[in-house]
Structure 1
Amino acid sequence: MKFLLIFLILIFVLTSTASATVTIFPTPLGAGTPPATARITCSCGNSCIDYTAVAASSDPRIVQLKDLSKGNETYVRWDFGDGTPLEGTNITPSLKNPVHTFPKNGYYIICMTTRNSCCSQKLWVHMTIIITDGNATVPFKAPVTAFSAAPTSGEASLKVQFTDKSTPFPYTDKSTGVSTSWKWSFGDGTYSTVQYPSHTYSKAGNYTVSLTIKNAKGSDTKTIKNYIVVNDLKAPVAVFSASPTSGKAPLNVAFTDKSTGSPASWQWSFGDGSRSFVQNPVHKYTKAGKYTVSLTVKNNGGSSTVAKTGYIQVRDKLVAAFSLSPTSGKAPLNVAFTDKSTGTPSGWIWDFGDGSKSFIQSPTHKYSKAGKYTISLTVKNDKGSNTVTKTNYITVIDKPVAAFSASPTSGKAPLNVTFTDKSTGSPASWQWSFGDGSRSFVQNPVHKYTKAGKYTVSLTVKNAKGSNIKTMSECVVVS
């Protein structure tokens, strides 16, 4: 039994491994997929993304990832750097804090990507995890230099981002204290010692780029001849669009620059006296009209201007309105109608009140008969219609014909009699003679008879065309 216990202890000692070590480093900018950036915070300001990692067991390859993000996550994706991802929208504990087994010790650039309820944009963060056991480190080796650049061609001034893709991962040799170093030569007489530099080429030419990397184990240089091709800057070509291009005032229009040739400045003229110098402005048109818009773009290579005539059409609210002249006169009467509607109508319907119609914007119409006429105008466009009506707006006169009635026509004195004008031809004046020596000049008078008798009544009517008289003998009998 004693020997069995000693045997089991020996087996445990021989088969056990040292405790795992998981070391986390910030990932250099530009490394990883997508390229690493600074820690990203959502634009709404209430969410951010972060994580850490710890050893999950004595096996150094088994690592526990811990999500430290702030915000209500709706999507999570892990890229472990060894070709295996994990993603989902069901935010379970195993998705937020996964345990992952890596194939071997080494360094891995891990990317965590999320979306959250604060905003729809994706957030991502990179970290580099180095996995070792207690007795060994990641093997330190001499570097093998590799790099890329984007873009590799374009017009001056051309800004180029360079990305170090060398192996192994940058480190500091604990035995010597020597760290990895970089020296870039951009081919235009300038240099950089950062790992992921950006450089601007100000002049045209073909540039040879080289990168030398050193660490405690050695150095290596990579050179690419004529890697960056920079052309002379050409003048831009002005192009733009707008939305919407028509509508009712006030109208907000968004203008979008679509110019080619890398313009450095923009000057907009909106056609209403206003200007803007931003690339993609929004402009408010407050009055109806057709506006010509122009855009001038410039860079060090020259300038270009494009103008669009009547490009923006702004309408007032569609409201029918009109005037006419004359509003009265003798038959036959020619009347000129003038449309004064707002809102840019595209169709007109006139009703002249005598059974006639017109569909032109400002017609002339002849009234051949005396009378009072009600006029209406309906205007239309693709947004709707509107109607205005003017009752008894036109008076056409002819020589009048006198006519009248009376009520009552008999009764005891004193007798009040109401007289009603029924004349035609649009008289302009009235003269009544009641047969008892009294007169009146109103259109529809009331007269009191105080004595018994039989009374003859006459009415004389007049207008610009002439006069007429109507006489009714013994029209009123008073007892």
Structure 2
Amino acid sequence: MKKLYITSILSVLLAFTGMAQITCNASFVTNQAQGSSTMVQFVNNSTVSQYSQVRYIWNFGDGTIDSSITWNTNRSHNYSNVGTFYVSLKMEVSDSVTNAIICTSYDYDTIVIGSLTTVTASSSALQTASGSTVINFQGSGTKNSSVPSYSTYKWNFGDGSSSTLQNPSHTYATSGNFTVVFTHEVRDSVTSSIIARATSNNWVTPGRRDTCNVSLNSNVSPNQLQVYFSPNSQASSFQGKYYAQNFTWDFGDGNTSTSQWGVNHTYAQSGTYNVTLYMQAIDSVTQAVFCLDTAFGTVTVTHKTPPSCQASYYLDTLASGGNALFIYNNSTPGANDPNYNVTYNWYFGDGDSSNLPYPTHTYSSPGLYSVCLSVHVVDTNYIGCYSYYCDTIGIDSLGNVIYKNSGFTLNVLDPSATVGQKEYEVLDVKVYPNPASNFVNVEGLKEGAEWSLYNIQGAQVANGYLKSGDSKIDFGNKQSGLYVLTLKSRNTVKSVKLSIN
């Protein structure tokens, strides 16, 4: 934009007479949608040193002239044709009394109408090394113009610095985050005026470093040798690379794993182990390792032998009869063992069940029934075992323990309720000692009696006859365990639960 200033003879004379000389400055800018708009706004920025009568004469370059006497008048003009137009503004300042022109100023510019110019811009930024504040920039763009034109470039680096190179390199004074603006401008080859422009933004962090951070988690199964390990990791590339993570586990017992996520590991024995996790961040394109980190941890595992358990019951063939069956729950461990939490489940074979250790159950109809018992044992360390036992029982029509014509009742008893006492009294008969070794004494028997000894499976293992006045029954050497001693005198049958050591 060029300017021309003309001062009249009157203003010179005013200077010689001591009056203040008036100065004027014609100035305008255009506001045009780049490339295609035919409507142009002209903003009048002209100035004059003191209030006077001012006239503006606009020549829009297409044969249209506009003039008026006013102060800083803006104009809008719609061009009817495309092309390049030379626009001028003439400013005349005149004396308000004599109307004599005392100051004249000119301003002019060139605009392009309807050039149909399109432009694009793209840019990139690359930090030269980890921790470096030197950033290399690359700018590019395309243009399509119906008039001869050329491209210019501008960079605003966000720290107050700039460049007009297309691909500059810039060193930042400090680390931090900066917004960089790249501008691609298309200019008319004749007038050098801007026809169109486009911008592209980048965000840079000079001084950024490659970083890797990893830690490990461990979840130890209670009282077992198995541990579940998982990583917590994060990686950051100063160039914003896409990356993959590789992990190597060292469990401290001579075993390793390359599992990339969680991994279960079972140790061979109890102990405390030092665990190490190695992490690598790898460039997804070049496969180069760009950072490493290591995490350490300690785990303690304890293995305890689970308890043994055995579901079991046996039938009391002597006490059972009539409409009742008596069985003994001799499962191990017992229901009252303080070291274990024992859960029982009885299944009576008719659709009913019970979770009591010593239940009573009445059957509604006769028949043979499969009675099953399950035992679940958990010790104080929450380690457990499971056992299951079934047998078939019933009562017949003669009262034998097979079948009965009407319903009957099943009674489950605790064998410790009778075994282990010093004496067991049935009416006026006493049997002792109990527990016994290979004999017992009988007191109170008024006449002879037949005796039999049964094991817990119901098999007879010894028998004999005790005369009136006799007081000792000799079994001989028997295996230690629970037995049932029966005494039969006339039509009376008495049974004693006996423990033999």
TM-score normalised to structure 1 length? 0.30
